[in-house]
Amino acid sequence: MSSRTKELGNLLEPAINALGYSLWGIEYVPQGKHSLVRVYLDKEGGIGIEDCAQASRQISSILDVEDPISGEYTLEVSSPGLDRVLFSLDQYKEYLGRHVRIRLRENFENRRKFTGQLKAIVDEELVLIIGDEEYTIPFELIEKANLEIQA
């Protein structure tokens, strides 16, 4: 997690919690003069469009007042969805046994992309089963991970 996403999380989480939602995660994508801030919310029973609209108004107000992002940005507020992005080890623990799609920051075992069943989490490493192979992937190498939708 980048220092920018940590900063945004610390700034936004109290207001999100006060609205009755939990902050699932934040993606910050700098794109020159125009950046993208994507905020994922969750709650018991799921997040709907009205939830996103209500949270978006609150988040937008906070970002306008606090101004943590220089330049222009687009704010997206969303449910994590069925193929949710996984941000923390605690989130991975909730989905043991499920299939995940992982992209790494750098090569590991001569590859950067892995898709397989999440078998375990040991210390700060994920144990992934791909076919007959077992891979132990350091959490700090993960750039992005999503749940795979199973048919």
Read off the pLDDT band of 1 (50, 70, 90): low
Residues 18 and 50 in one domain: yes
Mean pLDDT, range 5-33, rounded to an integer: 93
Residues 13 and 64 in one domain: yes
- Residue 135: pLDDT band (50, 70, 90) is very high
Please state the domain count of the chain: 2
Tens digits of residue pLDDT in 95-131: 999 999 999 999 998 999 999 999 999 999 999 999 9
Identify whether residues 109 and 143 lie together within a single domain.
yes
The verdict on 71 and 100 lying in the same domain is no
Radius of gyration of the chain, Cα coordinates, nearest whole angstrom: 17
Domain assignment of residue 55, given as a range: 3-78
Contacts of 49 (CB under 8 A, 6+ apart): none
Residue 93 in any domain: the answer is yes
Quickly count: other Cβ atoms within 10 Å of residue 143's Cβ.
Answer: 11
Same domain, yes or no: 64 and 7? yes
pLDDT, position 145: 96
Q: What is the domain-level CATH number for residue 140?
A: 2.30.30.180
Q: Which one is predicted more confidently, 71 or 103?
A: 103
Distances (CA, A) of 84 to 70, 79, 120: 28, 8, 19
Domain end among 78, 102, 132:
78
Cβ contact 13:22 at 8 Å: no
Output the pLDDT for position 19.
Answer: 96
Is residue 83 domain-resident?
no
**Which residues, 6 or more positions from 134, have their beta carbon under 8 angstroms from its beta carbon?**
119, 127, 128
